Structure 1
């Protein structure tokens, strides 16, 4: 019997897949990676040959051969937030036709954990990296700058430098302006004692807080005593608890902006339990416009963020860099939309 496979591992090789399907190894590789330029019938033939042989690609060997892998790293701070799930889905939709693998790293809003992920993933020689936000440790900045790997930042705008390598490419929207829009909306509704409730106090949350404060200051309604800032992760349960706490501290509050929809949803449910009229007694505005918000009782007013559009545009910007081209706009602002509903 003729022995097939690598001499060292005994596993089927790409060359054997190519021979069985009657194509070149390069074409076989592209077909197995899902590159859209390979004809569907040919790709099906290659995939059938791979299945027959039991071939499994070796990304480490491929990276050594090309000095770069066919992987794109995406680093996000949470997998439990619907915001990032939508973003990841959009990134996959863009990367898959180019035959690029998406490696996901979740750093749980921890800069040290993100630093470790960056160090580990750079060892696999990714062809590109998508990062969430612009704030990270100095060690992370230095590693990214030294690697030369193309990077695009998501969810935030700004001219921050990447380890001194120049202006960082980013796709997102103004968190500051979103917070100010919430304040202006509540003020336009006749509310005058306006509070802000936040958790998971990362840079983007605090930018929203600054925007909200600015909106209040412009109307002469600043009220720092009506802020509750909790460092723990955002959740529906926490939203209900913080809502009750703030009303116990200041029973004259008549409008609230929440840094995330899950907090606002928890507050709406707690108001129902305590028989507090929304928006009669207190108006509420959330952030991100998560799917459940349009089905709360009352339906929740929220700032809709372009989470899928951000993922799509960031992935496309990274592909532009990988093609050796210049990205036309270094700070792509996709905006946001105030979804006015019954809660305000």
Structure 2
């Protein structure tokens, strides 16, 4: 009889099938399927279970998920569509989704280039995998109009698009109002804003919410006081370097960035330019990423619960995939301001 090592060497160049496992274990392919899918209770003897598992281990058999999905009409795949994963905020969203889905589902990401929206055609191609459900992060209406995806769908961070599907959103305005009040109380009257080029609804909401709150507190934005870059430290630093001379002349004493990543670039370039923070210039962001607590100086930021966003969206999708009714199809998570040294000495 071949040793386990010999078996492994002989099968490396071959695709292992259920029939091969069945032959090695001396059982039927139906028995292999029951064991591989965890459906042995009352149907397969313990002796056969052990033999099949040993054969699976020796041969390195992996269940053909595509074949299973063809048979069942749906796979165990959950598709997560995102416009841009360069933002570290999204890594925390993914962690929350994975936690909510557990070991029952496989998470597959569909992403676009930085600054671009996802395309419905790309997602339709992935629908051939028969995903059990679909999560869409920060979409635009055009994408959702074109998608027409069958099956359970949940939107994340998609303000204003709640009519399309169950959604989990962030109350960005609450934190934005707190930030505007904090800057006004600190004596700032002229502010500038660094935005994202993506143009998704979440970034539009952040900008509108802060600027409205700033205006209500008597603060103004100079001409050309709003610039946009990709979510990249280097790009943000370069954009600030180009804008700062005019902003300084216009009396800007505070800059708010739509993400912490943008703010890191502004902090970096401000130090290079010899600008004293927060003495000459206050800087704040949105997201409250882990690095914001230890940056130099530490960054004031509107905390957005990224992990909870992914967790709640995944929980909602699980209920839909299990055929259950959502008690609250629309959920909103609160934001809050975390004041640090970049705006307060």
Using structure 1 for the length normalisation, give the TM-score: 0.82
Does the 8 Å contact 2:93/2:308 carry over to 1?
yes
Q: Whole-Å Cα distance in 2 between the matches of residues 216 and 76 of structure 1?
A: 30
Aligned to 1:117: 122
1:107 to 103, 108, 112: 112
Per chain length, whose mean CA-contact separation is higher, i.e. which structure has more relative contact order (CA < 8 Å, sep 6+)?
Answer: 2
Q: Structure 1: which 5+ runs fail to align?
A: 2-8, 33-41, 163-167
Cα 1:19/1:11, change in 2 over 3 Å: closer
- Aligned counterparts, 1:268-283, within 5 A: 268-283=267-282
Q: Structure 2: which 5+ runs fail to align?
A: 2-13, 40-47
Give the deviation of 1:254 after TM superposition. Answer: 0.9
Aligned to 1:152: 154
2:223 to 225, 231, 234: 225
SS in 1 for 2:193: strand
Does the 8 Å contact 1:289/1:302 carry over to 2?
yes
Give the deviation of 1:159 after TM superposition. Answer: 4.9
Give the deviation of 1:306 after TM superposition. Answer: 0.9
SS in 2 for 1:102: strand
Cα 1:107/1:288, change in 2 over 3 Å: same
Give the deviation of 1:223 after TM superposition. Answer: 2.1
The answer to whether structure 1 residue 54 and structure 2 residue 60 are counterparts is yes
> May I ask how many residue pairs the two structures share in their alignment?
317
The answer to whether structure 1 residue 28 and structure 2 residue 30 are counterparts is no
Aligned to 1:77: 83
SS in 2 for 1:79: coil
**Relative to structure 2, which stretch is displaced further, 87-96 or 277-286?**
87-96
- Aligned counterparts, 1:255-266, within 5 A: 255-266=254-265
The answer to whether structure 1 residue 184 and structure 2 residue 190 are counterparts is no
Does the 8 Å contact 1:31/1:43 carry over to 2?
no
Does the 8 Å contact 1:193/1:255 carry over to 2?
yes
Does the 8 Å contact 1:182/1:257 carry over to 2?
no
Give the deviation of 1:321 after TM superposition. Answer: 0.6
- Aligned counterparts, 1:282-301, within 5 A: 282-301=281-300
Aligned to 1:93: 99
Does the 8 Å contact 2:79/2:109 carry over to 1?
yes
Give the deviation of 1:53 after TM superposition. Answer: 2.9
> What is the RMSD computed on CA atoms of the aligned residues?
2.9
- Aligned counterparts, 1:203-218, within 5 A: 203=200, 204-218=202-216
Aligned to 1:4: none
Give the deviation of 1:14 after TM superposition. Answer: 7.2
Give the deviation of 1:259 after TM superposition. Answer: 0.8
The answer to whether structure 1 residue 65 and structure 2 residue 67 are counterparts is no
- Aligned counterparts, 1:197-208, within 5 A: 197-203=194-200, 204-208=202-206
Q: Whole-Å Cα distance in 2 between the matches of residues 10 and 184 of structure 1?
A: 63
Report the structure number with the largest CA radius of gyration: 2
Q: Whole-Å Cα distance in 1 between the matches of residues 270 and 61 of structure 2?
A: 58
2:169 to 172, 176, 190: 172
**Relative to structure 2, which stretch is displaced further, 201-210 or 177-186?**
177-186
Q: Whole-Å Cα distance in 2 between the matches of residues 14 and 219 of structure 1?
A: 72
Does the 8 Å contact 2:25/2:51 carry over to 1?
no
Q: Whole-Å Cα distance in 2 between the matches of residues 343 and 21 of structure 1?
A: 69
Q: Whole-Å Cα distance in 1 between the matches of residues 49 and 332 of structure 2?
A: 38
Aligned to 2:10: none
- Aligned counterparts, 1:8-19, within 5 A: 11-13=16-18, 16=21
SS in 2 for 1:206: helix
Q: Whole-Å Cα distance in 2 between the matches of residues 169 and 319 of structure 1?
A: 12
Cα 1:45/1:82, change in 2 over 3 Å: farther
Does the 8 Å contact 1:321/1:327 carry over to 2?
yes
Using structure 2 for the length normalisation, give the TM-score: 0.82
Cα 1:26/1:10, change in 2 over 3 Å: closer
Aligned to 2:145: 141
Does the 8 Å contact 1:201/1:229 carry over to 2?
no
